Amino acid sequence: MRFRAYSPGSVTLFFQVVDSEVPYLKGSKGVSVCIAPGALTELEDEGSDVFLNGKEVSGEIQKYIAQKYGFKGTIKTTTSLPISQGFGISGAIALSTSLAMAARYKKTYYYAVKIAHEAELFAGSGLGDVASEYEGGFTFRRKAGVQPYGHVDRVHYHGKIKVAVFGEKIETKSVLENEELKRKIKEAGAIAIKNFDAAPTFSNALKLAREFSFSLGLMSAELEKFLGSCPNATMAMLGNAAIIFGDCNVPSDTMVYEATLGGRASILD
């Protein structure tokens, strides 16, 4: 019998880092857009390797999760979106892996989310993606951490979505380990979240996201130029990439991926 699970990706528009000594209370508050395609993970009882898109990888996140469940076998994940470009694929890998193992070992969905979130924190690859990806949709993380301790609300949106990559990846871990950047994110994120809570609409989310991304000074010159010409796009946190709502002229040498609003993560078999 095979065990498979799926998780959407997640593009964070703006966020506030929330620290805690307790893993399931640590993470971030903020607004994110779950996108499909995300990540699909399948387990095999034979072997002991980790594969991503058919290539063997070190699989730090997957091996952490396997150890928590006591799984000994092969983990295979496929995704069509790049990692470390702000698309939440590390979180999607963690969540789809944990959900597949939860199905195999007859654990609950909340247990799977908790382990996936722990794995992301362990690897330093994200803070709030797992919480958003579990819920799906256009999410507002009102309270940091994962369910049932975190609090994830939703925002109504239906329309076109594209994501575009403008250069080299940004390692989330390196940003979150920079204390000055972390301070700026906390301050700017707190302001954005307060202003969004006062008017939780798509148009306000986009406005605040653009203000937030420009204030951090993380984007490349190419991405900054593009956002200057495309008011219906914003930086994908934390990546050298943009999420585009609707239509916009993208440079011909830019990698563009069609996407849709992603539903919640789920066990498939």
Rounded CA separation 234/137 (Å)? 17
Rounded CA separation 175/246 (Å)? 29
Residue 123: the pLDDT is: 94
User: Domain spanning 1-269: which CATH class is it, in words?
Assistant: alpha beta
Residue 42: the pLDDT is: 98
Residue 168: the pLDDT is: 86
Q: Tell me how far CA of residue 13 lies from CA of 9, 34, 158, 215, in angstroms.
A: 13, 11, 16, 13
Annotated domain spans of the chain: 1-269
For tokens 């919640």, what's the residue? Answer: 264
**pLDDT tens, position by position, 43-85:** 999 998 999 999 999 999 999 999 999 999 999 999 999 998 9
Residue 148: the pLDDT is: 85
CA torsion 49→87→98→260, rounded to 10°?
-120
Work out the angle at residue 256's Cα, subtended by the Cα atoms of residues 209 and 202, and round it to the nearest 5 degrees.
Answer: 30
Name the region of 93 (left: φ>0; alpha: ψ -120 to 50; beta: rest).
alpha
Residue 173: the pLDDT is: 82
Burial class (CB in 10 A: 0-12, 13-18, 19+), 106: exposed
Residue 171: the pLDDT is: 82
Residue 45: the pLDDT is: 92
- Find out whether 65 and 93 touch, Cβ atoms under 8 Å: no
Tokens of 37: 């395609």
Residue 147: the pLDDT is: 85
Question: Beta 74-78 vs 50-52: how paired, if at all?
Answer: parallel
Rounded CA separation 113/120 (Å)? 11
Residue 177: the pLDDT is: 86
Question: Does the global pTM surpass 0.85?
Answer: yes
Burial class (CB in 10 A: 0-12, 13-18, 19+), 169: middle
**What parts of the chain have a pLDDT lower than 50?**
none
Q: Which of 174, 182, 160, 145 is nearest to 248 (CA)?
A: 160
